[in-house]
Amino acid sequence: KQWYQRRVAITAGGSHDSGSYSIANGSKRTDELPNLGRCLNPLVERIGVIWSKTQHMTIKDQLEAGVRYLDLRVYKDNDDEQLYLVHGFEAGLFSNELLRIKNFVDSNPKEYIILDINHLYQFTFDDAVALMFELNDAFGTKLLPPREKGQAMYTFGEIVDLQKTVTVAITETEEVPYKKIVKEFPFLWSSEINIISPWANTTKPAKLKQFLIRTMSQDRPTYALHVTQSILTPKLSDTIKGIFVKPHNLLQLSEVLLPLFPQWIPELSQLGLNIIIIDFITQDLIQTLIDLNLRSCFEVEEGNDTSEADALLKK
């Protein structure tokens, strides 16, 4: 009952650049990377690959492990007219990843999934329309419309009762104005309005934590989801230094955060931790979030019976 009545202020695990797991040597570079000429481009690509991959698990494995927020960046390749997930380099075909997400949703009708398409590259408005038709064909009546300003966020009970367990958010670009596309597809959330996602843009864990505490302490609109970007972001100079000294790649940079998360997460949860996204998310970290939610949902006053919560946590 407690879970059913909770609003979507529960703590959900998310992955940063969710589709980048398949980036490898030989992946096609995109216009995100600087063009330094024929002589230097091979070096740029070799360095870029090891700093562009942010996940180990496939999207299918992420969902099965408990990830419920996917950070999706979609790129249209004008050479083959296909859509790809991207982070500096082309990763998997969007259509293939969408099928895997659809299969998970169909097999888990009570799981709430958020697809945040927060970057569109080389998209015209017609391209975005075609993408929305593809999403509508995949999820249909399961698509949950956004809340209006001033409205409270959905409860999980409402989501289950409505049988609308998929949120799709899209970023606004000059070619794809949100107000225009949402008229044709009213299920669309705005990545800028309905999802609040401040970015620290730092390589320092201490600065990251200060930023997270400061932004999470600010007033947040009730109709929006809040994403806590618990990630470290390298500068170009860091990637060049990485040729000679550690960290040599994004994984090594991110690993300094892993031992800090067990301490950070309970602290951040006191500020209303909603969605937390992480590079190279692990099963252990997801389990920490699940345990946090169970304790929160069965939180009782001192002296009451806690056996139900304790039993669930032991499973």
Instruction: Enumerate the active-site residues.
Output: 16, 87
Tokens in use for 243?
A: 């040729």
Distance CA 29, CA 169 (A): 26
Q: Would you tell me how many other CB atoms lie within 10 Å of the CB of residue 83? A: 24
* DSSP states along the chain: -HHHH-BTTS-EEEETTGGGGG--TTPPB-TTS----TTTHHHHHHHHHHHH---SS-HHHHHHHT--EEEEEEEEETTTTEEEEESSBEEEEHHHHHHHHHHHHHH-TT--EEEEEEEEES--HHHHHHHHHHHHHHHGGGBPPPPPTTPPPPBHHHHHHHT--EEEEE---SSS-HHHHHHH-TTEEETTTTEE------S-HHHHHHHHHHHHTS---TTSEEEEE------HHHHHHTTTSS--SHHHHHTTTTTTHHHHHHHHHTT---EEEETT--HHHHHHHHHHHHHHHT---TTS--HHHHHHHH-
Pairing relationship of beta strands 69-77 and 113-121 according to DSSP bridges = parallel
